[in-house]
Structure 1
Amino acid sequence: MISDRSTGSADTTSPRVAVVTVSYNSHDVLDEFFQTLTKATDETILRLLVDNKPRTDSATERIAGSFGARYLSMGSNRGYGAAVNFAARTLPASIDWILICNPDLTFEETSLDTLVRRGDAEPDAGAIGPAIHTESGEVYPSARAIPSLRTGIGHALLSEVWPANPWTAAYRHDSTTDSGSVGWLSGACLLVRRSAFDRIGGFDEGFFMYFEDVDLGYRLGKAGFANIYEPRAVVVHSGAHSTSAHASRMLTAHHESAKRFLSKKYPGWFFWPMRLALKLGLDARVRYLDRRSRKANT
């Protein structure tokens, strides 16, 4: 059962920016997330924390309250996109922009304000994404081209036996290191125009994990909105703290989502042989990596 509990002091100045983060066993990173968020903007913002734990996590709710964030419990884990969609449906009419982000982020100074200014200056922008750095200072490829069925098949079949193959290079290639329009932006930190998000129906909740951001960027582009990379805004992502213990399951989930996205993008009967080749290639890749992982652990 989904529950909604406001905690902490509520803003009364009709904020135009909402920040939505989704937690699953994330209480150990939330303090730093909210602390650094305060230096990312000078605006009054609405903070929402959606808890995807099957039961209420009192530690997570307590931290949300200490930072004046609205706490929402999903009651069960229905996935990242479903949690964000639920939060978006609760937002007041004053909200123009929604910052969607993982809880294991920290924000550089003025990063949120930089994203909002860029969005305000670009009337066709549906989404704006920052530069995402790793903890070691490397730039994560968070702005990419939309993957094609051909590159997906080549990557699935050849990435392990021929890592330098051109299809894997295209699949992993970040589309730009400069500011500008791209195919899709990482959902780890993504500012979306609320009207654009609502127009396309938000995230496709059929993606439990992975590729929901690829699909969102693709549908925004089809609807006439731009996905814009703004590297002057910087956040730091510490990595998948809540999923690292389940790497094999996560790889399987990633490949299932890849198959779903490319099947949506190429639905015609005449693409059936290529969809089958993608399925077989990704399934074989999962089996190969799983065997390799088990062998390394013995």
Structure 2
Amino acid sequence: MHHHTRAATGPLAVLVVTWNSAAVLPGFLDSLAAGMKGLDWRLVVADNASSDDTVGVVRALAPDATVVETGRNGGYAFGVNAALRAADRWADGYRAVLICNPDIRMAEGCAATLVEALGTPLPDGSRIGISVPLLYEEDGALIHSLRRESSLSRALGEAVLGNRRAGRFPRLSELVTAPAAYRARTTADWATGALMALSRECVTACGPWDESFFLYSEETEYCLRARDRGLATRLEPAALATHLGGDSRVSPRLWSLLCVNRVRLYRRRHGAAATAAFRGAVLLRELSRAALGRAPARAAVGALLGAPQSFQEV
């Protein structure tokens, strides 16, 4: 039996942040019955001012859902916080939170497996605060969703060796690629945020998501903040889901945002000298890719070299 520190009551709060998601939502809503099997759950959709019919689709296909129209595209963490505030107003509370991208398709029983894991004590005295599933691309390829915390040696390893090769060496890559890690219940510093279950304890201990990250690094920051509070992130390999967006090639603008936000987050947890070195390693990696003519890398180089104030935290 799991020993939860605080018995949380009420349904599972299923939170989805949408932005022009009308095309993928019907499939998502359709897959919920199987994915949520065995659970009492309630859906909250926070829509970041979609210009398509996202809100209409939710109202038509999921009339019982709570729809929060945030009024602007304030980013992913902004949407998560709007959805969390809506769930906080429920009279009966909620026992845990499931944060889903609308382009996720859960296999049967996925959510119950994730929620069941929450609160499990670990040998080091921490507990599972965040559980994540095995994620697959649409074509069935495994997505490497587990990550290590950023470090200078990892940024350099990725710059010199490239992600896939560096992934074999824990000190040289953020990406966890070892096949064994995805066959077992593996604890990681953080995991990509397409689908994650958070214990009520974790939501209470960590407070709101950090809205200063518009996109990318917000789930990293949240998982590291949870870990600081003794709440670990763990992969549950018995929970399966497909991510339609998967590792799709990102636009130059989004890739530069990802690179800049990695440095901003590093800056919060390390001193100025260490941050300068880390930023240099990230820059080295993007320069080597820009030399191969990759537009996203070129944009990232510009962003990393430009406006140094974007790396200074208020």
Q: Distance in 2 between matches of 1:285 and 1:82?
A: 34
Aligned residue for 1:113, secondary structure, equals helix
Partner of 1:158: 160
Specify the code of the residue in structure 1 equivalent to 2:151.
S
Partner of 1:60: 54
Specify the code of the residue in structure 2 equivalent to 1:63.
V
Partner of 2:259: 255
Q: Distance in 2 between matches of 1:281 and 1:23?
A: 34
Q: Distance in 1 between matches of 2:177 and 2:224?
A: 15
Once the two structures are TM-superposed, the CA of residue 286 in structure 1 deviates from its matched residue by 7.0
Distance 1:198 1:278, change over 3 A: farther
Q: Distance in 1 between matches of 2:50 and 2:25?
A: 18
Partner of 1:69: 65
Aligned residue for 1:179, secondary structure, equals coil
Once the two structures are TM-superposed, the CA of residue 168 in structure 1 deviates from its matched residue by 9.7
TM-score, normalization by structure 2: 0.77
Partner of 2:307: none
Specify the code of the residue in structure 2 equivalent to 1:188.
A
Partner of 2:97: 98
Q: Distance in 2 between matches of 1:168 and 1:292?
A: 26
Aligned residue for 2:234, secondary structure, equals strand
Q: Does the alignment pair 1:19 with 2:23? A: no
Contact 2:45 2:68 in 1 (8 A): yes
Partner of 1:3: none
The C-alpha deviation readout for 1:186-243, integer Å capped at 9, x for no partner, is: 21000011331232223211211112112111111111111111010111101169x8
Contact 1:132 1:140 in 2 (8 A): yes
Once the two structures are TM-superposed, the CA of residue 100 in structure 1 deviates from its matched residue by 0.5
Q: Distance in 1 between matches of 2:204 and 2:58?
A: 26
Q: Does the alignment pair 1:45 with 2:41? A: yes
The C-alpha deviation readout for 1:87-108, integer Å capped at 9, x for no partner, is: 1122125212110111001110
Q: Distance in 1 between matches of 2:50 and 2:289?
A: 28
Partner of 2:136: 133
Q: Distance in 1 between matches of 2:104 and 2:227?
A: 26
Contact 2:77 2:209 in 1 (8 A): yes
| RMSD, matched Cα | 2.7
Distance 1:189 1:252, change over 3 A: same
Q: Does the alignment pair 1:172 with 2:175? A: yes
Aligned partner (choices 213, 218, 221) of residue 215 of structure 1: 221
Aligned length: 273
Aligned partner (choices 215, 230, 244) of residue 236 of structure 2: 230
Q: Does the alignment pair 1:81 with 2:77? A: yes
Q: Does the alignment pair 1:201 with 2:200? A: no
Q: Distance in 1 between matches of 2:146 and 2:222?
A: 13
Distance 1:286 1:255, change over 3 A: farther
Q: Distance in 2 between matches of 1:168 and 1:281?
A: 18
Q: Does the alignment pair 1:192 with 2:198? A: yes
Give % identity.
24
Once the two structures are TM-superposed, the CA of residue 63 in structure 1 deviates from its matched residue by 1.9
